[in-house]
Amino acid sequence: MKIVSVLNETTQSTVASHVGLANNPLLRLKGLMFTKELPDGHGLWITPCNSVHMFWMRFALDAVFITKDGTIVHLQQNLKPWHLSPVIFKAHSVLEVPTGTIAAANLSLGQVLTQR
């Protein structure tokens, strides 16, 4: 799996420095299921994706829903195991990061994220 950094182009800050790209059917299907923890600075960028499930997850996470051009269109904080996110029809991908990352990175709707 390819690893990238995710930058907030709007604020010129790093959101997460160790993010895996789940951009094929097998990687998207597996996601973070059965992962024991997601350390700060880590994450998973799932493409294409406009909804996530937390089945078989052991921890909560934050989910950032992003359009094809990188614009944040929905933020879901503290999504708990065995729950579903809403379907965000405008989203093309979802960035899953540790709980608290949305607040710590001061993410908000309309900001633009990129991979480096």
Q: Which residues contact 101 (CB under 8 A, 6 or more apart)?
A: 15, 16, 40, 43, 62, 107
User: 10 Å Cβ neighbour count for 9?
Assistant: 12
| Residue span of the structural domain in which 41 resides | 3-115
Q: Which two tokens stand for residue 23?
A: 């951009």
In this prediction, the residues of the chain whose per-residue pLDDT falls under 70 are none
The SS3 assignment for 116 reads coil
pLDDT recorded at residue 6 = 98
β-strand pairing of 3-8 with 13-22: antiparallel
The verdict on pTM exceeding 0.95 is yes
Residue 58 has a pLDDT of: 92
The CATH number assigned to the domain holding 85 equals 2.60.120.1140
What's the pLDDT score for residue 33? 85
pLDDT of the residue at 17: 98
CA 70 to chain centre: 12
Q: Which amino acid is at 3?
A: I
Report how many domains make up the chain: 1
pLDDT at 110: 98
